[in-house]
């Protein structure tokens, strides 16, 4: 899509000296000769009239001529008021002074009562009447800010003039961020569209208490452009110190005096490639002509300000089936790749080594701050949500997608498959200082570990990071129960037969899933450590790992009776590489499968602890999954498959580089993994 716009500001159409009249006549002619049929939408960022004067017929006539000159219908015109569009009053000034002199202006503007709001908003009554009469559409009344959706774009109307009718408010403008946040929730497809925000005032005009948070709202909602005016001097700025970039363009005025720059802007963006430009058109008052201006700043020296929107550059290239040329640059052989999705997995952490899940032909992948749903046949994105931290393994529960991250647990509508969701679009969120990616799930119950700073009973003057566990109802995100310990470190909990098992630095606990009451507990470590270890369970046994940080070369696998915690045997390993810390356990009847002390995959007898088998090859940092009668093992260097019947190797896909591999997921004859080369792969053995 190619989208082109005209940006006007500070028209001051009542202002009508000789120089301005000459400029405006030439302006209309210039639009018709140079710009006509080159514009899709028109933006006007305030100050349509001058010093609160009435909107007379000359204003209507001039704007009609502008639209005729560029051949744009009124349906494609978007405008917001400026401070000169306000009718001021003494009562208004008094109210504004009270807000600005309060101890917390940010809260004050967010909590206005209806009467106070009406006093402030009354100054814009004439503007609202003009808006509705000229554009022929209703002006939203329930919020000073609103969103209008176009084909492939959104326009956020930011009314920066609620307190602009006061005295000496420059640099103290308050927007009312609570109202702004409410309307930004309407933009659920921000990653797929071009998003404009219109405001009369520049960022520097905003009050210090709102400025940073305002910028965050633009970033979090994928606002690509903030178009403004007010200062009568044109400028540009790229706000890049945030999650997402926002380009800011300030138009000049449409009047000639000793202060103003008569300048308007035109812009275009091609969403197919993500490139665009903004051109500045200036009035030469001395020689009386309009021209394209390359002297606004160094970045316009070539005739325009060039920009890129990364979200469109990334949209199709990496997030689809790769062609053979692209596949050659990835870690796996091209003849083994069904598709590859470019994510942001260059850094895998413990929380997202387990980051892939599969439900109803969709592969859900946890990335650094995003969860995406990929079509298993093509790798194309069919669902996505945006959070704030590294994302773990998603769950589908009824019509919800449950997304665990390091910062929160959130629920999203699984049926809405083509929109970007943000935190405020979640159906519910749970925040309790939990390590949400480390969880167990059974029917409608989610169990995860918590870490709190607590004083130990034996040392009340010292705070320690103590481990606990919490149960959450997935229907509403509310806590069922919690259980706290005075231990450090934690495992990924498991649920078996209505019992929750979780391991801390010292003990293993068995709790009733229904209420969190202790069934039994068993100390297995002599010395506390903070490392994450795994467990496995079946009808008869529970398996847990333990490690002494004061003797770091020693590692133990504890085999316990699942019903009462009685120890059956202890398997001791000795190693310098700590490979076992990163691996997990598979329990098949009375056999344990994991990695041993020399990077081989090994099998032990639960009852005796005897070594029954080990692989010939070594596998660094393996993560093992069980699929039907096969072990699927992702490791630093590839993916391998072993038969559980006779432990023969059935397939091996080696990568060209030693990259970390996540837990492999097998479906039919395809294995899905994420890798620290940045890709999620669908592979064939």
Beta carbons of 200 and 80 less than 8 angstroms apart: yes
How many Cβ atoms sit within 10 Å of the Cβ of residue 350?
Answer: 16
Residues of the chain with CATH 3.60.21.10: 2-264
In the prediction, which pLDDT does 323 show? 36
pLDDT single digits (tens) 219-233: 999 999 999 999 999
Parallel, antiparallel or unpaired: strands 356-359 and 362-366? antiparallel
> Is residue 665 predicted with pLDDT exceeding 90?
yes
SS3 label, residue 334: helix
Cα 98 from Cα 96, distance rounded (Å): 5
- Residues sharing a CB contact under 8 Å with residue 460, sequence separation 6 or more, in sequence order: none
Cα 201 from Cα 164, distance rounded (Å): 10
Cα 56 from Cα 133, distance rounded (Å): 12
Parallel, antiparallel or unpaired: strands 225-228 and 194-199? parallel
Residues of the chain with CATH 2.40.128.630: 432-524
> Is residue 529 predicted with pLDDT exceeding 60?
no
Cα 242 from Cα 300, distance rounded (Å): 24
Cα 622 from Cα 205, distance rounded (Å): 55
In the prediction, which pLDDT does 657 show? 81
How many Cβ atoms sit within 10 Å of the Cβ of residue 303?
Answer: 12
At the topology level, CATH places domain 2-264 in Purple Acid Phosphatase; chain A, domain 2 (3.60.21)
> Is residue 318 predicted with pLDDT exceeding 60?
no
Confidence bin at 317 (pLDDT 50/70/90):
very low
In the prediction, which pLDDT does 526 show? 56
In the prediction, which pLDDT does 543 show? 92
Sign (positive/negative) of CA torsion 20, 22, 26, 28?
A: positive
Parallel, antiparallel or unpaired: strands 400-404 and 434-442? unpaired
Tokens 């009668």 map to which residue?
Answer: 629
In the prediction, which pLDDT does 353 show? 65
Q: What percent of the chain has pLDDT over 90?
A: 59
> Is residue 528 predicted with pLDDT exceeding 60?
no
In the prediction, which pLDDT does 126 show? 94
191 versus 278: the higher-pLDDT residue is: 278
Cα 601 from Cα 599, distance rounded (Å): 7
CATH number corresponding to 432-524: 2.40.128.630
Cα 479 from Cα 430, distance rounded (Å): 8
Beta carbons of 392 and 366 less than 8 angstroms apart: yes
pLDDT single digits (tens) 400-442: 999 888 768 889 888 764 344 455 578 888 886 566 677 889 9
In the prediction, which pLDDT does 581 show? 58
311 versus 603: the higher-pLDDT residue is: 603
Residue of 128, 143, 155 lying closest to 43 (CA atoms):
155
> Is residue 326 predicted with pLDDT exceeding 50?
no
DSSP H or E stretch at residue 410: strand 409-413
Cα 678 from Cα 661, distance rounded (Å): 11
Tokens 């044109």 map to which residue?
Answer: 234
């Amino acid at each position: 899509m190619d989208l082109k716009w005209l940006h006007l500001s500070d028209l001051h159409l009542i202002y009508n000296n000789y120089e301005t009249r000459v400029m405006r006549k030439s302006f209309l002619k210039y639009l018709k000769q140079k710009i006509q049929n080159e514009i899709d939408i028109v933006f006007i960022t305030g100050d349509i009239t001058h010093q609160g004067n009435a909107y007379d017929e000359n204003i209507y006539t001039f704007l009609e001529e502008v639209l005729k000159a560029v051949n744009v219908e009124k349906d494609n015109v978007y405008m917001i008021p400026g401070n000169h569009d306000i009718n001021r009053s003494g009562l208004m000034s008094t109210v504004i002074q009270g807000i600005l002199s309060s101890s917390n202006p940010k809260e004050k503007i967010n909590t206005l009562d209806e009467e106070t709001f009406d006093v402030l908003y009354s100054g814009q009554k004439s503007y609202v009447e003009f808006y509705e009469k000229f554009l022929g559409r209703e002006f939203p009344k329930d919020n000073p800010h609103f969103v209008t959706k176009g084909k492939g774009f959104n326009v956020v109307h930011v009314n920066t003039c609620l307190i602009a009718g006061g005295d000496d408010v420059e640099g103290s403008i308050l927007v009312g961020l609570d109202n702004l946040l409410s309307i930004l929730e309407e933009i659920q497809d921000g990653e797929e569209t071009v998003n404009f925000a219109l405001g009369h005032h520049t960022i520097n005009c905003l009050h210090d208490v709102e400025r940073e948070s305002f910028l965050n709202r633009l970033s979090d909602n994928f606002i690509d452009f903030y178009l403004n005016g007010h200062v009568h001097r044109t400028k540009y700025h790229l706000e890049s110190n945030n999650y997402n970039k926002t380009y800011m363009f300030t138009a000049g005025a449409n009047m000639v005096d000793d202060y103003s720059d008569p300048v308007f802007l035109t812009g275009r963006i091609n969403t197919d490639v993500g490139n665009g430009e903004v051109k500045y058109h200036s009035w030469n008052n001395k020689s009386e002509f309009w021209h394209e201006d390359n002297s606004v700043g160094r970045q316009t020296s070539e005739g325009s300000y060039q920009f890129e929107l990364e979200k469109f550059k990334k949209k199709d290239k990496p997030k689809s089936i790769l062609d053979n040329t692209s596949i050659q640059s990835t870690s796996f052989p091209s003849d083994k790749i069904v598709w590859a999705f470019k994510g942001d997995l260059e850094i895998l952490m413990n929380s997202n080594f387990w980051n892939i899940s599969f439900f109803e032909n969709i592969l859900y992948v946890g990335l650094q701050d995003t969860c995406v749903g990929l079509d298993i046949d093509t790798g194309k994105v069919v669902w996505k949500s945006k959070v704030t931290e590294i994302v773990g393994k998603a769950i589908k529960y009824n019509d919800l997608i449950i997304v665990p991250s390091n910062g929160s647990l959130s629920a999203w509508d699984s049926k809405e498959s083509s929109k970007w969701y943000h935190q405020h679009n979640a159906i519910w969120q749970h925040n309790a200082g939990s390590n949400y990616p480390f969880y167990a799930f059974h029917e409608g119950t989610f169990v995860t570990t918590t870490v709190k700073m607590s004083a130990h009973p034996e040392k009340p003057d010292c705070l320690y990071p103590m481990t606990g566990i919490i149960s959450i109802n997935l229907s509403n995100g509310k806590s069922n129960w919690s259980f706290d310990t005075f231990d450090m470190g934690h495992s990924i909990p498991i649920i078996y037969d209505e019992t929750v098992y979780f391991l801390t630095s010292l003990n293993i606990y068995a709790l009733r899933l229904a209420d969190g009451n202790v069934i039994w507990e068993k100390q297995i470590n002599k010395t506390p450590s903070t490392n994450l270890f795994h467990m496995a369970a079946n009808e008869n046994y529970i398996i847990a790992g333990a490690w002494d940080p004061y003797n770091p070369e020693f590692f133990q696998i504890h085999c316990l009776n699942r019903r009462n915690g009685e120890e059956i045997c202890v398997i001791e390993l000795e190693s310098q590489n700590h490979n076992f810390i990163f691996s997990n356990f598979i329990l098949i009847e009375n056999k344990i499968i994991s990695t041993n002390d020399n990077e081989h995959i090994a099998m032990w007898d639960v009852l005796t602890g005897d070594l029954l088998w080990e692989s010939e090859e070594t596998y660094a940092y393996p993560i093992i999954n069980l699929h039907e009668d096969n072990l699927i093992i992702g490791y630093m260097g590839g993916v391998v498959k072993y038969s559980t019947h006779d432990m023969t190797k059935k397939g091996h896909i080696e990568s060209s580089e030693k990259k970390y591999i996540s837990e492999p997921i097998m479906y039919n004859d395809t294995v899905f993994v994420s890798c620290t080369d940045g890709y999620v792969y669908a592979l064939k053995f």
